[in-house]
Chains A and B, each alone.
Chain A
Amino acid sequence: MKPNLNRIEIPYEIPRPKPVNVLLLEDNMADAELVSEAVASDDNITLHVIDNGDDAFDFIYRRNTYARAPRPDLVLLDLNLPGKSGREVLKVLKAEAALLDIPVVVVSGAESADDIIEAYSLQANCFITKPAGLEESLQLLRSVMRYWLHIVRLPTPPPENVVIVNTSPEHRA
């Protein structure tokens, strides 16, 4: 029996950031397009797409080209990101005191059971396996976004004058 992936009903409007800044770390442009389409109907979402790990770190630490980047409210992370691997990005996101509360949704093609356990052990908030079909992928992404943006309460960001200090040894500029 094929489950209906669109079952998530939004019971009522929960308080949420305006706009919600979603950081998508994805190097496959077709997959990035799908996410873009999945959030298109929600005009309260700003989607930031980054396709490699080095830029991802610049965005997260607000340096170089991304000095003015907003703090993400939600991160969608493809584990197979070039540059620094998706796993490295996940590790840093969940180790930095100023960032570790940001929910990270790991998206990946089918991974081994051990890889999935490892992602959760690194404190990924959830793991989504990309389905094979286009329509299925779009439906799944829409429902995933609906869950994280309309059911789940996202953490409130710290006040704007808080500076994120890069405390991670591998990434000292």
Chain B
Amino acid sequence: MTSHKRPVEILLVEDNPGDVELTRDAFADSTMPNHIHVAGDGVEALDFLHRNGPYADAPRPDVILLDLNMPRMDGKELLSLIKNDADLKAIPVVVLSSSEAATDIGKSYRLHANCYVSKPGELAQFMRVVHAVEDFWLVMATLPDRQTPRPSAA
């Protein structure tokens, strides 16, 4: 498992405020200190990842949780952009989706999603699933560790 010398930085790309709160709750329980940054859609997520505008001081996420169904930019499009970017592709992307369609699952893996997890509709099951995601990625797996320095003003 990763030995974290600093809190794990997580980018949650999710437009449903209820799901955001539940996810925050689940991760707050983790034995590993972590910060959750929320982007409400793919455009905001890209600004965060590229440290544009208000996100100039944003940390590089150690892991990204991505809901597929979002306004402005389809989650699969964001996934594709991340996994084709030399700077960003090493960041694990966990797709969290209410879709169980085989086509969504297959497409996500072909776009190099690190894993695809279905979001259950029922609350207790949802929390167990999110806890499992937190446990696996923050405790069991070894995350890539590369906090890139902020680019200096050119």
Contact = CB atoms under 8 A, between A and B. Distances in A.
A140 B1 CA distance: 9
Nearest to A117: B144
Nearest to A2: B31
Q: Contact residue range for chain B?
A: 35 or more
B133 A151 contact: yes
B37 interface: no
B129 to A, nearest CB: 6
Interface in B90-127: 90-92, 100, 102, 105-106, 109-110, 112, 114-118, 120, 124-125
Interface in B23-43: 31-32
B28 to A, nearest CB: 15
Contacts of A131: 1
A11 B129 contact: yes
Interface stretch (B14-22, B70-78, B134-142): B134-142
A29 B63 CA distance: 33
Nearest to A8: B132
Interface in A145-165: 147-148, 151-156
Interface residues of A, number: 38
B146 interface: yes
Interface of B: 1-2, 31-32, 83, 89-92, 100, 102, 105-106, 109-110, 112, 114-118, 120, 124-125, 128-129, 131-133, 135-137, 139-146
A148 to B, nearest CB: 8
The secondary-structure label for the interface of chain A is loop
A49 interface: no
Interface secondary structure of B, over-half rule: mixed
Interface of A: 1, 3, 5, 7-9, 11-12, 14-15, 94, 100-103, 113, 116-117, 120-121, 123, 125-129, 131, 140, 143-144, 147-148, 151-156
9 contacts: A3-B31, A101-B106, A113-B144, A117-B144, A126-B141, A127-B144, A147-B140, A153-B117, A155-B105
A100 B110 contact: yes
Which of A11, A94, A101, A153 has the largest count of B CB atoms less than 10 A from its CB? Answer: A153
